[in-house]
Amino acid sequence: MAEDSKVQGLAWFLAGLGVGALVGILYAPKSGRETREDIAQGAREGSEYLRSKSRQAAERMGQYVDKGKEQFGEYVDRGKDVVERGRAQWEEFVERGKNLVSDQSTRVSSAVEAGREAYRSTVATEEAPAE
């Protein structure tokens, strides 16, 4: 029974809607032609409004894209600077390492040569009195 009353309520609502539309048409202050012209004019104004807003949105998006490109370029430049500084520091560290290895190599070579000379002089001293 509850569903029957809902269906009846919907039917009365639709009937009222139809009657209201009919009364509105019969008592409209303008003729059908004027009403159609008003509707067409409203549609033209609405489409012009949409075109205007879409142009504004396109311009704004263009500005956002340009600003994004500019910021991206700045970030790329910053990244390049950081990489260059890192590369320069790395090259400096490598050069220091080469110099350190070279110094240590020279010291080791000198120590080895001094050891050889000490050994030769010790061996030469020990062999000389034996004769």
C-alpha angle 30-33-37 in degrees, rounded to nearest 5? 95
Residue 130, pLDDT > 60, answer no
Residue 33, pLDDT > 70, answer yes
pLDDT tens digit string along 6-18? 888 888 998 998 8
Query: pTM here?
Result: 0.43
Tokens of 7: 């269906």
Confidence of residue 129 (pLDDT cuts 50, 70, 90): low
Instruction: Name which residue leads in pLDDT, 35 or 95.
Output: 95
Confidence of residue 2 (pLDDT cuts 50, 70, 90): low
Q: How many CB atoms lie within 10 A of CB 83?
A: 10
Residue 120, pLDDT > 70, answer yes
